[in-house]
Chains A and B, each alone.
Chain A
Amino acid sequence: MREVNKNSRSLAKTIALKGALIFLIIMPIVSFFIISPYFYLHDSPEKKPWVSWFNDPHERVYISWETEEETKGVLKYGTDKDDWDVEITENKSSKIHHLSLTGLDPDTKYYYSVEVEGEEFGAGMFRTAPSGFKEFTWVMISDTQQNLGPGHHYRVARVLEQKAEDYSFIANVGDIVEQGADKRYYDNFFQIASHYFDKLPFVPVIGNHDDRSVDQFTEYFINQVNTSQDHFYYSFNWSNVHFCIPHFAHGSESEMTDVQLNWLENDLARAQDKTFIVVMFHCPVIGASFFGENEVLMKNVKPILEDYGVDAIIHGHEHHYERGHLGDIMYMILGGGGGAFDVGLRPLPETEILTASPCYTEVEAKKGTLTFSTFTLEGSLIDEYTIEAED
């Protein structure tokens, strides 16, 4: 009997030891998928101010912020941060705040400060668009979502923080967050983006993951161009470039509404006096990865872009960097902004360059050229391409 008990104890000990060893071996893998979100997703509802617009950045922008409790804020702004020109006090309390700054002078640097309950909540600066031609540079990233682990948006943010004053604004070509309906992802995004939001106005493009709650997206990014169709599209001009931002997050039939396609055509028709037309939408028409060629966009959108002489289309969605030509239109996929990279890559005949590395793209607009330069976070040039204006 004693021998049996001894054997049982020994067996139990062996099983426990082996079980513990197996747990130790397998745990680090399991934790990637199950535990890691708890390390980086936490409620931090306060969001420092950010600047955006949906129509005319020559004379009107919005400054927004979020507070933990419902509060009334005071916004001060002007061209001299020691002597504010204007002070606006909110007349009702809210958590998410949007204040419209109108009557601004074109091509002017403004400073702003937000006070909540008598204390400075955040401060920053922005520059309005010039009314005529002026050389400028903007920067683009995409897919800052945290789809597998915390991702590298924070590394991108640190680099952009250093270079922010070189740029007029930053465009994020969609999938800003992984779960558009889960506010914690926005909390995390804004916390990371606060590294550059105080110096760089934000041009948001809606992605398929943001699209899971258009309501949540429009709570943060104000847009009065189209609020009834569940679509987030708008356009604006900056110097000699027209920026058109339709809502093609999935490239699905449901996005090909008459209202949106008519808006797109009319918008591009009105932009014919601009030297360059850049269209940004999340889902690529063609791409070298998972999604391949999108037949819906190919059939419904590509002909419109060609008819109105679009120079460049900028996408995200696929998590790699790619540039190529779709007929005469240069296309780019900027999926290196933060999310985990694609399952695999399959270059198409249209693909000219392709890689998967954390990166950002800056674009220099001159009188007759648009130069797109893509860099790794260590500053190495991955790709440079110049579009020349037609005579």
Chain B
Amino acid sequence: MLETYTFSPYLMLYIGAIIQSLMLASWVIAPQNFKTENPKLALIYEFFMKLGFVTTFLFGIVFLDTAIFWLANQWIYADWRFQLPTVILLLILGFQYVFGSFFVNPKLSDLLYGSGAIVAILIYLHFIVPLGRLRTTVVQFVGVLIVLMVVYLLLWGILSYLDRKSRFSGKNRELWDITEKAQQIFSRKFNLVLYIIILMEVWLKLFGSSLFIW
């Protein structure tokens, strides 16, 4: 057993369901590839897009981390039928959020933000939290996400500034673009079905059951 901190996959799946519901709701409000000539509206749209990317990306890392460490640490002791559906759904959700946020058509700066956030989360969860023996709180969890958001926005600011400097701007080009392929795989239909499956699992969990236990 690794002496490290692992979030509960059950809790993470509730959060995943909330994020997924907000994402689907946002698609209803603002269609994919939304374009406007109104500069104010464009700015608001861009802000919410960025916020959405950062949120899904950070939670994506936490979801993947939870699923991987849960598999490595805990689940062998209990019933796989209870735990496995939640863990599989977290892996799918986490992969989609991390991959979709920064790795579809990334610039060098995107990879830098992404790697920085991943390292910060891993250090916090697996090196800093295990140092303590006293009470852990939900506030700490929310706190770490706020700190990561701030770090991200700072990095974004600095790199945007550097981006304007000619020396960095030349290097900070798009590294690859697989948007079309990604949109085919992680389509709206896929996300709606995924949301329904997650909802079923979350509801069943509230009754102490799961998709594999009826």
Binds A, one of B79-87, B95-103, B155-163, B164-172: B79-87
| In the assembled complex, B178 has its CB within 8 A of some CB on chain A | no
| In the assembled complex, A1 has its CB within 8 A of some CB on chain B | no
Among residues 135 to 159 in chain B, which have CB atoms less than 8 Å away from a CB atom of chain A?
A: 135-138, 141
| In the assembled complex, B8 has its CB within 8 A of some CB on chain A | yes
**Residues 187-211 of chain B: 1 if any A CB is under 8 Å from the residue's CB, otherwise 0?**
0000000010001001101111100
Give chain A nearest CB distance to B132 CB in angstroms: 7
| In the assembled complex, A338 has its CB within 8 A of some CB on chain B | yes
Known: A25-B21, A343-B11, A345-B8. A149 touches B206 (CB 8 A): yes
Known: A25-B25, A348-B3. A341 touches B8 (CB 8 A): yes
- Write the chain B residue with the least CB distance to A21: B28
A354 to B74 Cα, complex, angstroms: 7
Q: With a CB–CB cut-off of 8 A, which chain A residues contact B6?
A: 344-346
Interchain CB contact under 8 A, A344 and B206: no
| In the assembled complex, B119 has its CB within 8 A of some CB on chain A | no
**Residues 280-308 of chain A: 1 if any B CB is under 8 Å from the residue's CB, otherwise 0?**
00000010011111010000000000000
A224 to B25 Cα, complex, angstroms: 57
Interchain CB contact under 8 A, B208 and A344: no
Among residues 116 to 141 in chain B, which have CB atoms less than 8 Å away from a CB atom of chain A?
A: 129-130, 132-138, 141
Please give the number of chain B residues whose Cβ is less than 8 angstroms from any Cβ of chain A in the complex: 48
Interchain CB contact under 8 A, B7 and A344: yes
A166 to B5 Cα, complex, angstroms: 38
Known: A357-B82, A376-B78, A378-B79. A346 touches B5 (CB 8 A): yes
Q: With a CB–CB cut-off of 8 A, which chain A residues contact B179?
A: none
Interchain CB contact under 8 A, A151 and B134: no
Among residues 70 to 92 in chain B, which have CB atoms less than 8 Å away from a CB atom of chain A?
A: 73-75, 77-79, 81-83
| In the assembled complex, B29 has its CB within 8 A of some CB on chain A | yes
A357 to B74 Cα, complex, angstroms: 10
Give chain A nearest CB distance to B187 CB in angstroms: 16
A25 to B202 Cα, complex, angstroms: 15
Give chain A nearest CB distance to B189 CB in angstroms: 14
Among residues 346 to 364 in chain A, which have CB atoms less than 8 Å away from a CB atom of chain B?
A: 346-349, 351, 353-359
Interchain CB contact under 8 A, B199 and A290: no
Give chain A nearest CB distance to B173 CB in angstroms: 37
A32 to B21 Cα, complex, angstroms: 13
| In the assembled complex, A34 has its CB within 8 A of some CB on chain B | no
Interchain CB contact under 8 A, A32 and B14: yes
Give chain B nearest CB distance to A180 CB in angstroms: 21
| In the assembled complex, A383 has its CB within 8 A of some CB on chain B | yes
| In the assembled complex, A29 has its CB within 8 A of some CB on chain B | yes
Give chain B nearest CB distance to A84 CB in angstroms: 39
Interchain CB contact under 8 A, B78 and A341: no
Q: With a CB–CB cut-off of 8 A, which chain B residues contact A377?
A: 79, 208
Give chain A nearest CB distance to B34 CB in angstroms: 14
Our pick among A26, A292, A338, A359 for the contact of B78 (Cβ within 8 Å) is A359
Our pick among A29, A155, A356, A383 for the contact of B10 (Cβ within 8 Å) is A356
Among residues 1 to 49 in chain B, which have CB atoms less than 8 Å away from a CB atom of chain A?
A: 1-8, 10-11, 14, 17-18, 21-22, 24-25, 28-29
Give chain A nearest CB distance to B200 CB in angstroms: 10
Interchain CB contact under 8 A, A290 and B17: no
Interchain CB contact under 8 A, B77 and A345: no
A338 to B141 Cα, complex, angstroms: 24
Q: With a CB–CB cut-off of 8 A, which chain B residues contact A152?
A: 207-209
Q: With a CB–CB cut-off of 8 A, which chain B residues contact A150?
A: 206-207
- Write the chain A residue with the least CB distance to B200: A28
| In the assembled complex, A228 has its CB within 8 A of some CB on chain B | no
**A340, A351, A359 — most chain B CB neighbours (10 Å):** A340
Interchain CB contact under 8 A, B133 and A357: no
Interchain CB contact under 8 A, A149 and B134: no
- Write the chain B residue with the least CB distance to A18: B28
| In the assembled complex, A36 has its CB within 8 A of some CB on chain B | yes
**Residues 315-326 of chain A: 1 if any B CB is under 8 Å from the residue's CB, otherwise 0?**
000000100000
New contact pairs (14) apart from A26-B25, A32-B206, A382-B77, CB-CB < 8 Å: A22-B25, A154-B208, A290-B135, A290-B137, A340-B205, A345-B74, A346-B4, A346-B136, A347-B1, A347-B2, A347-B4, A357-B82, A357-B83, A377-B208
Query: Lowest 3 CB-CB distances: which A-B pairs, in order?
Result: A152-B208, A149-B206, A357-B78
8 A-B residue pairs with Cβ-Cβ distance under 8 Å, sorted by A, are A26-B25, A149-B207, A150-B207, A290-B135, A292-B132, A346-B5, A347-B2, A357-B83
Chain A interfacial positions (CB closer than 8 Å to B): 18, 21-22, 25-26, 28-29, 32, 36, 148-156, 286, 289-293, 295, 321, 338, 340-349, 351, 353-359, 376-378, 380, 382-383
